């Protein structure tokens, strides 16, 4: 094969939640992909426990939100309590503004199966090679050569792609072969994670609970379907061997009020928490690191797996634009510029939640936390980016860099649905009661025309429509949001983040 011939557009190394998210995102955009996965089946132990409305909106963009919800339950609240029953903090989850519930309890194996089934819809555009490990990745100015070995037969092969996404998670051998090192620290505490099948309901089982204690803090969380999860730290004198059997786990469960009549234990495992990140999330020009291959965080914010999924969708629409020639090659630089600060934000939230759970807060910090009990905690803040492919600053008082709400909306002929489903999967220029093309300069419109943008006037539900290029905000949340930021016209990217707004300029980002 000559160097400039390709077997596929994108090679995906690893087919866990990040890799399969990338396959779905790329396939939906018409980008061909081949994924390589060492294992022949889904890892059957649940690890991640939640997804929120941002992640669900991503699943919606590939037509899988209703499918994955079938194995999920909305999370209604979060609380911190002590073993004597004292409630330190209780946070009801507010209604979601992104078109979905704020948070969902998941069962990860079921979620991954739904995502794999979703990727299979794309037929030969998205192919998966199970039982195959990647032994090397060589790149040049024109593309990437992926070297592989079939673990069953020993047969070796090569594949030529334009780009490669490293989604191999914590797989050490792949990391070493790619020359990736994760810099940071590992918390010097071992945790045992216990999963159970629910036999009967116990009080407040549906509330995500953190048992706060300096010696034995516990994560107590309902998973999707009829599963439940507890995470217990081992004390300094304890080892994995002390909890090798199910019988040895019952005293831990009984300490938080769970009995043999409540659940059947169906598995347990041991983990350590990491705070680590790669120096760069890009190797050369054509290989990108995603998910746990790029960053690791403690589990307290429920954002580890979700961050990998968001990485995948972020790079996918940018690669699609570059490959079809509508977006400049330089947009790929914005992947890490956008995603790293966001991952750092959730990592810090996770670390601070861990301090609350393990009762490491000072008296002053505890008082400050109690004083903020009526405020929306950072864990539930709407999605935002602080830098990246934007025109103008992504500042707190600007719509730029923030994800728009998703109300119920209607077309001019009365078709009612969620906003994203009516907008389509590309760029959209939205005007608050005004035709956005009348606000754009000729050069600005020509530039947005080049990326295939739609132009829509957004009307209030108590107004009529006047032309075909209009949409009605039935709930009023989008228009209220635009007015909060004094934005009359905004340009919305395929991922529903605002790329530009009239207060700071409507040019295509440089």
Sign of the four-CA dihedral 199, 205, 210, 212: negative
Q: Is the separation of the CB atoms in 222 and 209 below 8 Å? A: no
With respect to residue 256, please indicate whether it lies within any of the assigned structural domains: no
The CA angle 97-100-103, to the nearest 5 degrees, is: 95
Residues 318 and 177 in one domain: yes
With respect to residue 269, please indicate whether it lies within any of the assigned structural domains: no
| pLDDT band with cut points at 50, 70 and 90 for residue 2 | very low
Q: Which residue has the higher pLDDT, 433 or 224?
A: 433
Of 371, 396, 419, the position where a domain reaches its end is 371
User: Based on C-alpha coordinates, what's the Rg of the chain?
Assistant: 24
Instruction: State the Cα–Cα distance between residues 127 and 19, nearest whole angstrom.
Output: 12
Summarize the confidence of residues 17-42 as an average pLDDT: 97
**pLDDT at residue 18 above 60?**
yes
**pLDDT at residue 1 above 60?**
no
pLDDT at 357: 72
CA distances from 109 to 115, 165, 266 (A): 10, 22, 14
**pLDDT at residue 3 above 60?**
no
- Which of the residue ranges 15-19, 212-216, 309-313, 434-438 would you say has the lowest mean pLDDT? 212-216
Which residues neighbour 57 within 8 Å (Cβ) at sequence distance 6 or greater? 65, 98, 99, 100, 403, 406, 420, 496
Q: If you search the block for the tokens 């050369």, which residue do you land on?
A: 284
With respect to residue 145, please indicate whether it lies within any of the assigned structural domains: yes
Residues 47 and 167 in one domain: yes
225 alpha carbon, distance to own chain's centre:
21
Residues 173 and 298 in one domain: yes
Residues 399 and 328 in one domain: no
**pLDDT at residue 364 above 80?**
no
Residues 359 and 400 in one domain: no
pLDDT at 352: 84
Each residue's pLDDT tens digit, 269-285: 998 888 999 999 999 99
Of 305, 338, 371, the position where a domain reaches its end is 371
Q: Is the separation of the CB atoms in 155 and 10 below 8 Å? A: no
With respect to residue 261, please indicate whether it lies within any of the assigned structural domains: no
Print burial letters for 140-161: b (CB count within 10 Å at least 16), e (below 16).
eeebbbbebbeeeeeeeeebbb
Instruction: State the Cα–Cα distance between residues 160 and 163, nearest whole angstrom.
Output: 9
CATH number for the domain spanning 458: value is 3.40.30
With respect to residue 419, please indicate whether it lies within any of the assigned structural domains: yes
Per DSSP, the three-state class of 279 is coil
Residues 177 and 44 in one domain: yes
| pLDDT band with cut points at 50, 70 and 90 for residue 378 | confident
pLDDT at 271: 87
Instruction: State the Cα–Cα distance between residues 479 and 487, nearest whole angstrom.
Output: 9
CATH number for the domain spanning 78: value is 3.50.50.60
Summarize the confidence of residues 170-175 as an average pLDDT: 77
Residues 157 and 101 in one domain: yes
Structure tokens at 382: 């709407």
Element (H, E) at 222: strand 218-222
Q: Is the separation of the CB atoms in 439 and 431 below 8 Å? A: yes
Q: Is the separation of the CB atoms in 230 and 246 below 8 Å? A: no
β-pairing, 126-130 vs 50-52, is unpaired
Each residue's pLDDT tens digit, 397-416: 999 999 999 999 999 999 99
**pLDDT at residue 265 above 60?**
yes
Q: Is the separation of the CB atoms in 173 and 14 below 8 Å? A: no
Q: Looking at residue 382, what DSSP letter applies?
A: P
Structure tokens at 321: 């634009």
Of 325, 347, 371, the position where a domain reaches its end is 371
The CA angle 315-10-343, to the nearest 5 degrees, is: 25
Q: Where are the alpha helices (DSSP H) in 145-256?
A: 172-178, 250-255
Instruction: State the Cα–Cα distance between residues 221 and 198, nearest whole angstrom.
Output: 12
Q: Which residue has the higher pLDDT, 368 or 324?
A: 324
- Which of the residue ranges 57-71, 162-176, 462-476 would you say has the lowest mean pLDDT? 162-176
| pLDDT band with cut points at 50, 70 and 90 for residue 251 | very high
- Which of the residue ranges 41-45, 115-119, 261-265 would you say has the lowest mean pLDDT? 41-45
Residues 314 and 426 in one domain: no
Summarize the confidence of residues 5-19 as an average pLDDT: 97
Summarize the confidence of residues 88-94 as an average pLDDT: 87
Element (H, E) at 60: helix 53-61
No. of helices (H) and no. of strands (E), the chain: 12, 26
Instruction: State the Cα–Cα distance between residues 379 and 189, nearest whole angstrom.
Output: 23
Residues 62 and 107 in one domain: yes
With respect to residue 118, please indicate whether it lies within any of the assigned structural domains: yes
Residues 59 and 170 in one domain: yes
pLDDT at 88: 82
Residues 44 and 105 in one domain: yes
Please give the share of the chain, as a percent, with pLDDT higher than 70: 96
Please give the share of the chain, as a percent, with pLDDT higher than 90: 80
Mean pLDDT, rounded, of the chain: 93
Closest CA to 20 of 301, 277, 311: 311
Q: Is the separation of the CB atoms in 223 and 194 below 8 Å? A: no
With respect to residue 150, please indicate whether it lies within any of the assigned structural domains: yes
pLDDT at 367: 63
Backbone angles phi, psi at 339, to 5 degrees: -80, -35
With respect to residue 189, please indicate whether it lies within any of the assigned structural domains: no
Print burial letters for 222-256: b (CB count within 10 Å at least 16), e (below 16).
bbbbebbbbbbbbeeeeeeeebeeeeebeebbeeb
Instruction: State the Cα–Cα distance between residues 321 and 240, nearest whole angstrom.
Output: 49
Give residue 426's domain range. 384-501
Instruction: State the Cα–Cα distance between residues 55 and 41, nearest whole angstrom.
Output: 24
Summarize the confidence of residues 418-430 as an average pLDDT: 96
**pLDDT at residue 368 above 70?**
no
Residues 51 and 132 in one domain: yes
Each residue's pLDDT tens digit, 465-495: 999 999 999 999 999 999 999 999 999 999 9
* Length of the chain measured in residues: 510
Number of domains in the chain: 2
Structure tokens at 474: 């039935």
**pLDDT at residue 23 above 60?**
yes
């Amino acid at each position: 094969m000559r160097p400039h011939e390709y077997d596929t557009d994108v090679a995906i190394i690893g087919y866990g939640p990040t890799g399969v998210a990338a396959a779905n995102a790329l396939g939906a955009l018409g980008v061909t992909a081949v994924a390589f996965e060492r294992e022949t089946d889904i890892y059957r132990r649940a690890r991640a426990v939640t997804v929120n409305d941002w992640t669900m909106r991503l699943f919606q963009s590939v037509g899988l939100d209703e499918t994955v919800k079938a194995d999920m339950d909305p999370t209604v609240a979060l609380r911190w309590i002590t073993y004597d029953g004292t409630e330190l903090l209780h946070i009801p989850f507010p209604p979601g503004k992104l078109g979905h519930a704020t948070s969902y309890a998941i069962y990860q194996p079921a979620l991954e199966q739904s995502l794999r089934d979703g990727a299979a819809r794309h037929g030969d555009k998205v192919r998966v090679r199970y039982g195959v490990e990647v032994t090397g990745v060589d790149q040049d100015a024109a593309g990437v050569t992926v070297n592989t070995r079939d673990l069953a037969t020993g047969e070796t092969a090569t594949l030529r792609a334009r780009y490669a996404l490293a989604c191999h998670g914590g797989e050490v051998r792949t990391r070493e072969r790619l020359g990736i090192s994760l810099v940071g620290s590992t918390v010097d505490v071992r945790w045992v994670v216990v999963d159970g099948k629910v036999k009967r309901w116990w009080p407040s089982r549906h509330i995500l609970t953190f048992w706060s204690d300096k010696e034995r803090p516990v994560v107590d969380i309902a998973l999707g379907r009829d599963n439940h999860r507890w995470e217990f730290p081992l004390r300094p004198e304890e080892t994995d061997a002390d909890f090798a059997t199910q019988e040895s786990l019952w005293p831990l469960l009984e300490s938080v009020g769970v009995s043999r009549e409540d659940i059947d234990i169906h598995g347990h495992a041991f983990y350590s928490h990491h705070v680590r990140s790669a120096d760069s999330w890009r190797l050369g020009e054509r290989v990108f690191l995603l998910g746990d291959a790029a960053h690791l965080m403690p589990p307290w914010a429920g954002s580890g797996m979700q961050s990998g999924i968001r990485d995948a969708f972020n790079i996918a629409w940018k690669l699609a634009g570059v490959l079809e020639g509508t977006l400049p090659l330089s947009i790929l630089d914005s992947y890490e510029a956008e995603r790293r600060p966001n991952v750092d934000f959730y990592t810090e939230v996770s670390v601070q939640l861990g301090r609350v759970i393990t009762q490491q807060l000072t008296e002053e910090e505890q008082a400050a936390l109690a004083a903020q009990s009526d405020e929306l905690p950072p864990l539930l803040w709407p999605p935002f980016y602080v830098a990246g492919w934007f025109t103008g600053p992504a500042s707190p008082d600007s719509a730029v860099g923030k994800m728009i709400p998703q109300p119920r909306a209607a077309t001019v002929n009365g078709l009612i649905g969620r906003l994203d489903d009516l907008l389509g999967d590309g760029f959209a220029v939205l005007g608050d009661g005004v035709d956005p093309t009348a606000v754009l300069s000729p050069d600005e419109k020509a530039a947005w025309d080049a990326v295939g943008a739609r132009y829509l006037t957004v009307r209030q539900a108590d107004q009529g429509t006047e032309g075909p290029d209009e949409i009605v905000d039935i709930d009023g949340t989008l228009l209220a949001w635009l007015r909060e930021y004094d934005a009359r016209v905004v340009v919305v990217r395929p991922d529903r983040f605002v790329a530009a707004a009239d207060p700071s300029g409507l040019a295509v980002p440089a």
